[in-house]
Structure 1
Amino acid sequence: MTQAATFLATAASSDDSSFHPPSITDFFPPAIFFEGTPFEMTRITFAQLLATLAVVVIFWLGTRRMTMVPGRFQSIVEMGLDFVRVNIAHDLLGRKDGTRFLPILTTMFFMILFMNLTGVIPGINIAGTGVIAVPLLLAVVAYVTFIYAGIKKSPKNFFKNSLFPSGVPPALYIIVTPLELLSTFIIRPVTLTLRLLMNMIVGHLMLVLFFSATQFFIVTLGGWWTVLGAGTLAFGFAFTLFEILVAFLQAYVFTILTAVYIQLAVAEEH
């Protein structure tokens, strides 16, 4: 293995037939359409538009002619909608508040899910959520939503109860209040953004590493190196399945945390 590592390091430093591992530059791709214009589109923006179009088309086709006895496609769409409605919105917020915030939670879940899934689509191979703009925008939406929910529920006491929780001795507020400010109003949007962003970045880098190594071993080196290529190919396919699971889990975690923050904001003590 040491000889193999040495060989790969030497090959990677050569100019011809070299191994090019993935890097953070993958997330700054060149323009593919309308270069130099306000409508410049890279592979990532194309993935984002494709995911958005897919969400719109799927739900339009699945709901435009709904029947009492749903067909297979309508059933799949309804199952997706019911998953968010029952397992996230109503389960955490109750029927009244869950129905009230259901549109934004549903949009958030499926937007993240479809943009995450572009990372495993051949030819695109990068998640639409792999640049900070999308996770940050979604985190800001979640942030504004739970603050709005809290103010709407208790206009006078929301910030007071958030920063000065009941049951704490007044002398400890000098410690508790800065911590509550940090955890509630600063750390929440930051962690929402970074959790989604980092998972998509790491997933992309791992997939590219496996499949680029496969191409290098089998096509460039050949010979007995194809054995290692078969191994990296198998790992690549296994990690692709794992990334599909991660795409779903990250959409679920982001949406359920948003619902939890809303639930905390509309709690009776506020």
Structure 2
Amino acid sequence: MSNEATVVDAPETSKGHPVAIVVTMLVVWIALTFLAERIGGGVSSWHAPSQEDFEFSGWFGTTWFNKPMLLAIIGFVGVLAYWLIASRRLKVIPSKAQFFAEYVYDFVRNIGRDMIGPGYRRFTPYLLTLFSFILVSNWFGETFVFMFPTFSRVSYAYAGAILTFLAYVISGFAKHGLGYLRVALIPSGVPPWLYPVIIPLEFLSSFITRPLTLSVRLFANMFAGHMSIMVFVGGGAALLGWVHNSFYNVTGVFALLFGVAMLCLELFIGFLQAYIFTILAAQYIGSSVGAAH
């Protein structure tokens, strides 16, 4: 009897919400239009995207306060405000908003529990902040108001990697004292005669390669994704406005449609990069506070 109820209810839960779909498509279309106008809708004014499009001059007579910095501040304030509001007036029977917040918290908490092991709870706030801030900052690149992923500037990716580096190194010394160097540099089971080879390699891996790969992976994916969207949307807009060439006009339509697909893909990649960064941060912390690696 329960199986029949499941079969009957399944189609209802799989239905989409037409209003949400329409709103989403309108937001995507407006985003494409905004980006196309920003790049240049005419053939004569449009130029191929380059790294110069990721450089912004400072505001108010400064060199550091620019659009990426503003987006970072907005992301920080937004994440802080969201979790402060979500943690107030919690109920035994949660509302939809509380359920969503608890789902995100449990998702990140489980990453810490699986990667760090015992004692993971004290690292959960850091991992939750890391995941939330990276995700929100990445999704700035798909909104028509901001239209720029913060982490496509490598300095912000470096900052996140340095914070994670400090988190797992300080945690390692706090847990093991100077013995952390042995945990970090000498894997268990390695014979002493291999120490001259293993120690330099482990030092390079733990203290140089980890923060470098963390930052470069995040930066490269967000930079390349935003550049691809600019190519298809800006190029499509230019082709669509090409005078007296129907082939170029039709090609422009397909380029813009592919730009929509790229926007949807970037939403997924933005989430994936936040997840990967968080899970690697938890793994590195776990290797520092564990007995051996």
Give the TM-score taking structure 2 as reference length: 0.80
The match for 2:161 is: 139
Shift of 1:222: 6.2
**Aligned partners of 1:265 and 1:59: how far apart in 2?**
28
| Secondary structure in 2 matching 1:155 | helix
The match for 1:243 is: 266
**Aligned partners of 1:222 and 1:53: how far apart in 2?**
49
Give the TM-score taking structure 1 as reference length: 0.86
| More displaced 10-residue stretch of structure 1: 209-218 or 162-171 | 162-171
The match for 1:4 is: none
**Aligned partners of 1:150 and 1:159: how far apart in 2?**
9
* Residues 1:116 and 2:138 are matched in the alignment: yes
Higher relative contact order (CA 8 A, sep 6+): 2
**Aligned partners of 1:120 and 1:53: how far apart in 2?**
19
* Residues 1:170 and 2:197 are matched in the alignment: no
Match of 1:93 among 113, 116, 120: 116
The match for 2:50 is: 23
Deviations 1:101-132 (CA, angstroms, capped at 9, x unpaired) = 11111111101111111011113221111112
Match of 2:124 among 63, 88, 102: 102
Code of the residue aligned with 1:263 in structure 2: it is G
| Secondary structure in 2 matching 1:69 | coil
**Aligned partners of 2:182 and 2:150: how far apart in 1?**
38
Deviations 1:29-71 (CA, angstroms, capped at 9, x unpaired) = 234x42x147x63222222222223212322332222222221
Deviations 1:133-152 (CA, angstroms, capped at 9, x unpaired) = 21111111111111122112
Distance 1:122 1:16, change over 3 A: closer
Distance 1:180 1:57, change over 3 A: same
* Residues 1:79 and 2:103 are matched in the alignment: yes
1:37-76 correspondence runs (5 A): 37=62, 41-76=65-100
- Unpaired runs of at least 5, structure 2: 1-41
Distance 1:52 1:156, change over 3 A: closer
State whether residues 183 and 288 of structure 2, in contact with CA within 8 Å, keep that contact through their aligned partners in structure 1: no
The match for 1:227 is: 250
Code of the residue aligned with 1:24 in structure 2: it is Q
- Unpaired runs of at least 5, structure 1: 1-14
| Secondary structure in 1 matching 2:44 | coil
Structure 1 residue ranges, 4+ long, deviating more than 4 angstroms after superposition: none
State whether residues 207 and 236 of structure 1, in contact with CA within 8 Å, keep that contact through their aligned partners in structure 2: yes
**Aligned partners of 1:77 and 1:123: how far apart in 2?**
25
The match for 2:211 is: 189
Work out the percentage of aligned pairs sharing the same amino acid. Answer: 33
**Aligned partners of 1:156 and 1:201: how far apart in 2?**
39
**Aligned partners of 1:231 and 1:101: how far apart in 2?**
47
